[in-house]
Amino acid sequence: MPRTIVTKFLKLRDRTTLGQQVAVVTAILCLALALTVAATAAFVARQQATARAEAEIIGIASNMAERLDARMFERFREVRNLAELEPLRAVWDGDEATIRSILEQLQASLPEYAWIGFALPDGTVKAATGSMLEGVSVAERPWFMDGINGLTVKDVHDAKLLAELLGSQANGEPFRFVDVAVPVKNAAGATIGVLGAHMSWTWASVVRDTVLQTTDRALDTQIWVLRSDGTALLGPEYGSAPFGQSTIEAIAATGRLSFSDMAGAVDHLNAAVTTKGYLDYPGLGWTVVARRPLDLALAQANQLALAIVMIGIAFALAGAVIASLLARGLTRPLSELADGIDSIGRDPGATMIARDHSSRDVSQLTVAIRSLLRRLGVAETAQEAAQREAAASRQQLVERTERLGEDINALQILADTDPLTGLLNRRAFHVFGVDAMNYFKRHKRDVGVLVIDIDFFKRINDTYGHSVGDDVIRAVGGVVQAEARTIDKVARFGGEEFVVLMRETEKEGPAVLAERIRQTIAGKLVDHPEHGTIHVTVSIGAAMAVASDRDIEDVIERADRALYEAKATGRNRVVSGEAEPSQNRSAA
């Protein structure tokens, strides 16, 4: 068989002209080159689109994980604060009706509290919302046994004692709770009971729906919540294990993982992010998984790859046609020369030319070819030497360019950084502010601004000197940077004034962050080797961007007015600035 193929190829070669052969070979090379380039470009485009799809779905999972931690921290803080409130210490020893009234007020503030109760040290429920379980012993319940010893949070579980009292939820499923419990102490520090709160796990579905509203592909996206052991809490069937143990271990080892799996003959792209807790809330080790069908996640990439390949094929065919025409044109003079030599050899009247000139011309052609080959060898040697010199010059140029880039980068950092605190300066902050406002106006994603000022800073400088004042500025700047989220931008605008830019925040986000910063600074003492401890407080103005804002300066101006209101009303406080419907705007 191979010999037959070779024979047919030789016969075909003998029946075609050199021009036809060159045209065919050139067309094949053009087609192969164009298809290779198109396939490579399509592969790169698909890889980039895949990376974008992974980044998007990881962002969804991270958003859900952060919201779960933040929501749990708020409930964790509410129950703890209620148990530790000084004015209520005498209430816990009082009558059941008063305690029940306080607990029902807390329950009314947030519907996700399914049950809140106060149990005595022996486990007997003294008072509870709706009078449920009053007089019943909860001494054997895990939340009580751990709560008597200290603040505790318990993972999602089915309702036990409350199952018959509460019945089923609207969707027919049984109630499931997340528990927070804290010991209640009297003025002498003795434990007089345990305050426990059962939060209905349905709040996680509300958080999930809120997160899905932030993506353009909500109908194509699923969000699951798993325990640390991989069993399902939200999304798949409760208690099921949708992933293998090796996948769960890989997620736990990295804290963030993207992977694909097959479910119901559909390949899915997954992003898993573990919750880490928030501030002093330790977290429960949940894993949030965002899922999207791989074909839908990469639909844009597949369309782009197909378009590139089709364009490549079109260019390849066009190149093959052009190459064929050019090859025929280039080989035509050689065909005419061959025909001329053949006619001279066949013409009886041209024998003298053939004898006297044909051999001489062939000899001269041979000598010319040999001379040309020698010249080509010398030229190739010279070209190689020139290429080596050019390569050395290029290497030197690359090294100089890299050094210049490093110097420019260092200068850029110096230009954008406040030298005292290491935070952004006003110029660098303005760049991020302009970008945030443009994004807000295009995509309606909320933007907030905090303006922070150290109270009585002139008094600190006058009392202790400017070096101590610099230490205070650095300490305050460090607290603001530590409390801000990783996506927030913190800058020092000069003197004792700091500004925080918050993107992708909720309406109450700036006020919550501002209050946390204020409390942290108020509770922090600046230690100085010569002057001892120095107590510092700050006043903070907060504002959210609105559609009528022209630029980021309008938001800063509104936050700045709120700051002055905070100072005018006593300092060490947070005031949120609201946009006036018909305010006269001016530069901040």
Mean pLDDT computed over 220-248 = 90
For residue 51, tell me if it sits in a domain.
Answer: no
Residues 386, 466 within the same domain: no
pLDDT at 582 over 60: no
Q: In this structure, are residues 225 and 233 in contact, taking their beta carbons and an 8 Å threshold?
A: yes
Residues 430, 565 within the same domain: yes
Hey, what amino acid is at 569?
T
Higher confidence at residue 310 or residue 101? 101
Higher confidence at residue 5 or residue 327? 5
Residues 369, 504 within the same domain: no
Residues 112, 192 within the same domain: yes
| Range of weakest confidence among 7-21, 32-46, 273-287, 547-561 | 7-21
Residues 142, 183 within the same domain: yes
Q: Which range is most confident: 286-290, 322-326, 405-409?
A: 286-290
Residues 380, 506 within the same domain: no
For residue 288, tell me if it sits in a domain.
Answer: no
HEC per residue, 425-460: CHHHHHHHHHHHHHHHHHHCCCEEEEEEEECCHHHH
User: In this predicted structure, what is the pLDDT of residue 373?
Assistant: 46
pLDDT tens, position by position, 151-206: 999 999 888 888 777 777 666 678 888 999 999 999 888 999 999 999 988 888 88
Which of 204, 237, 271 corresponds to the end of one domain?
A: 204
Residues 534, 431 within the same domain: yes
Confidence class for position 347, pLDDT limits 50, 70, 90: low
Do the strands 191-200 and 176-185 form a parallel or antiparallel pair, or are they unpaired?
Answer: antiparallel
Which of 157, 174, 204 corresponds to the end of one domain?
A: 204
Residues 368, 503 within the same domain: no
Average pLDDT, the chain: 83
Residues 492, 373 within the same domain: no
For residue 77, tell me if it sits in a domain.
Answer: no
Provide the domain limits for residue 381.
355-410
Q: Which range is most confident: 210-214, 413-417, 548-552?
A: 548-552
User: In this predicted structure, what is the pLDDT of residue 584?
Assistant: 42
Measured CA to CA, the distance from residue 462 to residue 508 in angstroms comes to: 37
User: In this predicted structure, what is the pLDDT of residue 360?
Assistant: 65
Measured CA to CA, the distance from residue 403 to residue 397 in angstroms comes to: 10
Helix pair angle (18-84, 96-109), 10° resolution: 160
Q: Domain containing 527 — which CATH number?
A: 3.30.70.270
Mean pLDDT computed over 519-547 = 89
How many domains are contained in the chain?
3
User: In this predicted structure, what is the pLDDT of residue 175?
Assistant: 83
**pTM of the model as a whole:** 0.49
Higher confidence at residue 377 or residue 330? 330
User: In this predicted structure, what is the pLDDT of residue 564?
Assistant: 95
Residue 225, SS3 per DSSP = strand
Measured CA to CA, the distance from residue 362 to residue 359 in angstroms comes to: 5
User: In this predicted structure, what is the pLDDT of residue 355?
Assistant: 53
Go through the chain and tell me how many residues it has. 588
For residue 191, tell me if it sits in a domain.
Answer: yes
Helix pair angle (457-464, 466-483), 10° resolution: 140
Residues 379, 461 within the same domain: no
| Range of weakest confidence among 30-34, 160-164, 200-204, 421-425 | 30-34
Which of 204, 224, 241 corresponds to the end of one domain?
A: 204
Tokens of 557: 């101006």
For residue 73, tell me if it sits in a domain.
Answer: no
Q: Concatenated DSSP letters for 508-550?
A: THHHHHHHHHHHHHHT-EEEETTTEEEE--EEEEEEE--TT--
Higher confidence at residue 215 or residue 565? 565
Selection from 34, 556, 71 nearest residue 286 by Cα: 71
For residue 293, tell me if it sits in a domain.
Answer: no
CB burial of 291-315 (b: ≥16 within 10 Å; e: otherwise) equals bbbbebbbeebeebbeebeeebeeb
Q: Domain containing 131 — which CATH number?
A: 3.30.450.20
| Range of weakest confidence among 76-80, 361-365, 556-560 | 361-365
Mean pLDDT computed over 255-280 = 86
User: In this predicted structure, what is the pLDDT of residue 453?
Assistant: 97
pLDDT at 486 over 90: yes
HEC per residue, 3-25: HHHHHHHHHHHHHCCHHHHHHHH
560, containing H or E segment: helix 552-568
pLDDT at 119 over 90: yes
Confidence class for position 357, pLDDT limits 50, 70, 90: low
User: In this predicted structure, what is the pLDDT of residue 23?
Assistant: 67
Mean pLDDT computed over 539-568 = 95
Tokens of 469: 């004042």
For residue 248, tell me if it sits in a domain.
Answer: no
For residue 185, tell me if it sits in a domain.
Answer: yes
Residues 360, 465 within the same domain: no
Residues 462, 562 within the same domain: yes
Residues classed as catalytic: 496
